[in-house]
Amino acid sequence: MPCDVVLVQPPFAPVDSPSLALSTLQAALLDAGIDTRVVYANLAFAERIGLARYHLIDTRAWYEPGEWCFSPAAFPDFEANAFGYLRRLASGRVEEYPQDGLELQHWVEALSVARRRARAFVDELAPEVLALEPKVVACSSSYQQHCASLALLRALRGQAPHVIRVIGGANCDGSMGEVTHQCFDWIDFTVCGDADALIVELMTRALDAGRDVTAEALPRGVYGPGHRVTPGARRGAPTEPARHALTFDLDALPMPRFDDYFDALARSPLADALRETLPLETTRGCSYGERHHCTFCGINGPGMPFRSKSCERVAEELSTLPARHGVEHVFLVNAMLEPRQLAGALPLLETRPGALDIFCETLVGLSHSDLETLVAAGVREIQPGLESMHDETLRRLDKGNSAAANVRLLRRAAEHGLRVTWNLLYGIPGVDGPRSYREMASWLDEIAHLQPPTLSAVRVTRFSPYHARPQQYGIAIEPSQCYRYIFPLHGDDLSRFARYFEVEPAEPADLDALDALGELRTRVHDWNARWRSDGASPPKLAATDEHCRQIVDTRPCAVAAEHALDEVEAALLRACESGLRPQRAVAAASASAARELTAAQVDHAAERLLERKLMRALSQQWVSLVCLPRVRVRSAAAAR
């Protein structure tokens, strides 16, 4: 059945969830009477190469492997050294993950298969899209989707030149969109920023006037053919930058329509192998990033201004969409969730979210009350921006949190039964690497009972402070070398288009830093291994009674398997739940014990707790490492 617009989700977008962006755009267009379909080409390509190979590629964006696979299909006349790319990839992987030789072998095999099949896939996909008889085809391009999008749109120009071709997404933000429009002239319209508030106007004009739409008639944030007509301009150069489009009233957006994804999934042989996850959105931008931009973060780009949906709208989506599609796993795509939204939404939910399993990103400074709210709303996994367990490193990253706060959140999350996903970053500019690595490695066993991290190198990405002001951080950067094997871009075009950048080495590798990093890597590897051990429970450090007098300890650093605390020790440990300045210890421990304690008593108790590694001195505070029983957690939340 013919349709007006086809929206395409290309590889290598995740295949276990629909596209929130395209589903929202489709809803807006359908509401405006513009017949629209969403084609999940990512799912089709995963069927072609196998799910395991697809996942190996789509979860490792730093070297742009998905772009490399589709580069020959997008740029048939571009001759790049394929072995040069693989050598670059292999050297980087061995440097970062020396123990993963077998995984590297699997990765190279997956890339080789995907690259061989990419061009034939595009040649088959184009007629399938054209069979829907669209007047406009628009591709989403975020992260590893640019070459696949460009390849399909180029094929459409050859097979059906009358069809209007559009591209948009995170890969078109800022100068990336400008370079895309000026260098790839088979693109008719390039959307920079949020498309959901402008999509109806853009498609209406494109359907009415085609490529004759003037630059002045286009919505803010859109490049069109009219931007390419300036006499004397270099090939395809826009006459002026398109301003980034931002949507501020999120409640005005339609409810996303996910039906096309679930219809495609029902027909797919991969259906039984995928755990469907529904992407929902409660906020855009970052409330913290507006005030303090984390030095390495380039996620929001020009979309940093914080915006949020009302509690009523959040409740409507949570109570309606998962039930409509029979999905219990929900991924909140926000850069930062506000617990108050869920707190306000809970009384409004039409169906209780007990069956939901929600993942979301959060701030670090969550109280017990905040965590109880998240759990009550169905949140089961969080990703707070921890990034390190070293105060100097956190300060250099401009995180606004401390090692003490990070440990406190990990412990509180464990007390509330929440899973935690977090990264431990290394290679931070301006930080004494060997010292910070060894200091962390020396005590990480003390929190082996809390969720382990993934050890990751800090990256320089577009829109991050590292990218915007490299001199301020004492670094010099250049576009990642992988781009020379993928895109036919050079010089200024490449610098303005690249998402990832490499720090130019100022001196040979520091052997002491490599040794120290090896110690940290071993510690983190062992930590993860204890949590993944088949049939074995993770290490435990927990009080078995409400007053924290009896403690079980199975950590690798445990001084004893069980600890019996006296009244003063237990009182001090309870007082250190939120972190406690030593100079306030006597007053706080006395309040916890409900009687006056002496400085000598408290000092002796502190010494005993530190010796047994039940408490840790971090960030000029004493922080309890012991997980509290649920009854005490509930009373702490009520007190707040």
Retrieve residue 135's tokens.
């007047």
Q: What is the mean pLDDT of residues 157-170?
A: 98
pLDDT band at 320 (very low <50, low <70, confident <90, very high): very high
On the question of pLDDT at 434 being above 80, the answer is yes
Give the per-residue pLDDT at 356. 87
Average the pLDDT over 275-292 and give the result.
90
Distance of CA 534 to the CA centre of its chain: 28
530 contacts 538 by C-beta, under 8 angstroms: yes
Give me the pLDDT at residue 443, please: 98
pLDDT at 234 over 50: no
Read off the pLDDT band of 239 (50, 70, 90): very low
Q: What is the pLDDT of residues 443-498, one digit of tens each?
A: 999 999 999 999 999 999 999 999 999 999 999 999 999 999 999 999 999 999 99
410 touches 398 (CB < 8 A): no
In this prediction, residue 229 has a pLDDT band, given cuts at 50, 70 and 90, of low
What mean pLDDT value characterizes the chain?
A: 91
Cβ-contact 152, 10 below 8 angstroms: yes
Tens-digit pLDDT profile for residues 562-609: 999 999 999 999 999 999 999 999 999 999 999 999 999 999 999 999
- Residue 232 reports pLDDT greater than 70: no
pLDDT in tens, 84-141: 898 888 776 655 555 555 577 888 899 999 999 999 999 999 999 999 999 999 999 9
- Residues in CB range of 22: below 8 A, 6 or more apart: 7, 9, 38, 140
Q: Give the mean pLDDT of 272-299.
A: 91
Mean pLDDT of the 304-320 span: 90
Confidence band, pLDDT 50/70/90 cuts, at residue 633? low
Whole-number Å distance between alpha carbons of 101 and 189: 43
Reduced to 3 states (helix: H, G, I; strand: E, B; else coil), residue 251 is helix
In this prediction, residue 333 carries a pLDDT of 87
Q: Distance (Å, rounded) from C-alpha 121 to C-alpha 69?
A: 11
Res. 235: pLDDT tops 50: no
Instruction: Specify the pLDDT at position 635.
Output: 60
Can you tell me the distance from the alpha carbon of 180 to that of 496, in angstroms, rounded to the nearest whole number? Answer: 10
Q: What is the pLDDT of residues 20-66, one digit of tens each?
A: 999 999 999 999 999 999 999 999 999 999 999 999 899 877 889 99
Please give the average per-residue pLDDT across 241-264, as a whole number. Answer: 92
Residue 85: exposure state from Cβ atoms within 10 A (0-12, 13-18, ≥19): buried
Band the pLDDT of 236: cuts 50, 70, 90: very low
pLDDT tens digits, 528-564 = 999 987 768 899 999 999 899 999 999 999 999 999 9
Look at residue 238 and tell me whether its pLDDT is greater than 60: no
pLDDT at 170: 95
Q: Return the pLDDT at 353.
A: 57
pLDDT score, position 508: 56
